[in-house]
Amino acid sequence: MTKNIGKLIEVDVRDLWKHEQYDFSNWLSKEENINYLNDILGLTLIEVNKEEYVGPYRCDIVAKDETSGITVVIENQLDGTNHDHLGKIITYASGLDAKTIVWIVKNAKEEHRAAIDWLNNNTNGDINFFLIEIHAYKIGNSEPAPKFEVIEKPNGFVKQSKSISSDKKLNKSQSERLVFWEQFNQVVISRGKPFNLRKVSADHWYDISIGTSEAHIAIDLISKNNYIVVEFYIHDSKVLFDKLYASKDSIEKDLGFNMVWDRLDGKKASRIKYYIHGLDFDDHSNYEDLMNQTIDIAVNLRDVFKKYI
């Protein structure tokens, strides 16, 4: 028996939002909608502010990435791309010292796709440009559903390889980290993305946000000692560390394992660590098991510690 199958119909986004500034920016700045964009960017945007002035111009949305603390600017254009807005996003990035620039448009013209691609490949590894089209669809009489479609995004490998060392060559450890994190992200995706993906890089760390700017979950590859550290990293609050330490027994009972509690007196940061042994950059045969264990521990730390902060 053949079931009825609906037809996907595209809706003009101007029918959903008449005005970029008052309608679309207001919609996007809401938590559930900015989280949708977070999934695409691999960020966790907080402190979302609308209409921040840069000279005589107003940037549609300015936010912070919770984990890295970088400034992110978002320029909305419910129309085809043009040179005016291309100039604006560069002006906003410069004026606000933004490291990630997101240009959301109705239609991306070829010349502006090429311009964003060129910027991604010819700026340093700290600067990232996204060109995203916003579309909307419905089936029959259903409510229209918005959909972000990434047109141009940073090529993490190209940018990373350009920013490392004067001769532009990756050493063995850096190359192996790129391999590890690329595979790690694929495992995270296969598990339904229990946390936002981070951009693949040659760094030894991978950060996961937990909903506060005071701390995050960090995954560190320590190849010289052949282990992975999964930790609750407190940026600059001995008060928070002491509060958590007072509940140490209860926290470790909830986790199901013991942690290494390192207050790091004399330093700003504090670290609460769990070690996973078996990392070997010369032998990838156990990578899938290591990665799944790392993800399990990271999610466990995030969910348990959030109850105590």
Q: Which of 127, 154, 181 is where one domain is finished?
A: 154
DSSP 138-188: EETTSPPEEEEEEEE---HHHHHHHHSSTT----HHHHHHHHHHHHHHHHH
Whether 28 and 104 share a structural domain: yes
Whether 232 and 273 share a structural domain: yes
Predicted confidence (pLDDT) per residue in 95-138, tens digit: 999 999 999 999 999 999 999 999 998 888 789 999 999 999 99
Rounded Cα gap, residues 44 and 65, in angstroms: 5
The CATH number linked to 239 is 3.30.1460
68 in a structural domain: yes
Whether 133 and 111 share a structural domain: yes
Closest listed residue to residue 154, CA positions, set 163, 144, 146: 163
Predicted confidence (pLDDT) per residue in 72-84, tens digit: 999 999 999 999 9
Q: What is the mean pLDDT of each run of 10 residues along the chain (309 residues)?
A: 78 91 90 87 85 84 85 94 94 93 95 94 87 94 92 70 50 89 94 86 88 89 95 95 97 97 93 97 95 97 94
Whether 181 and 280 share a structural domain: yes
**CA dihedral angle for residue 163, residue 167, residue 171, residue 176, rounded to 10 degrees:** 40
2 in a structural domain: no
229 in a structural domain: yes
Whether 96 and 230 share a structural domain: no
**Three-state SS sequence of 188-230:** HHHCCCCCCCCCCCCCCEEEEECCCCCEEEEEEEEHHHCEEEE
Number of domains in the chain: 2
Q: In the 8-state DSSP scheme, what is residue 4? A: P
Q: Which residue has the tokens 């907080």?
A: 46
41 in a structural domain: yes
Q: Which of 112, 127, 154 is where one domain is finished?
A: 154
Whether 106 and 200 share a structural domain: no
Closest listed residue to residue 199, CA positions, set 182, 224, 179, 220: 182
Residue 192 belongs to what domain range? 161-305
Total Cβ atoms within 10 A of residue 137: 13
Between helix 156-163 and helix 110-122 the angle, nearest 10°, is: 40
89 in a structural domain: yes
- Buried b / exposed e over 238-266, threshold 16 CB at 10 Å, is bebbeebeeeeeebeeebeeebebeeeee
3 in a structural domain: no
> pTM value?
0.62
Rounded Cα gap, residues 254 and 300, in angstroms: 9
Whether 172 and 72 share a structural domain: no
Q: Which of 154, 173, 203 is where one domain is finished?
A: 154
Q: Which residue has the tokens 């063995």?
A: 172
Total Cβ atoms within 10 A of residue 39: 12
The CATH number linked to 41 is 3.40.1350.10
Whether 250 and 141 share a structural domain: no
Closest listed residue to residue 164, CA positions, set 175, 149, 154, 148: 175
Rounded Cα gap, residues 307 and 309, in angstroms: 6
Whether 172 and 258 share a structural domain: yes
Whether 174 and 67 share a structural domain: no
End-to-end Cα separation, the chain, in angstroms: 55
Look at residue 32 in the predicted model and tell me its pLDDT: 86
Look at residue 19 in the predicted model and tell me its pLDDT: 86
1 in a structural domain: no
Whether 187 and 134 share a structural domain: no
Whether 247 and 171 share a structural domain: yes
Look at residue 166 in the predicted model and tell me its pLDDT: 39
287 in a structural domain: yes
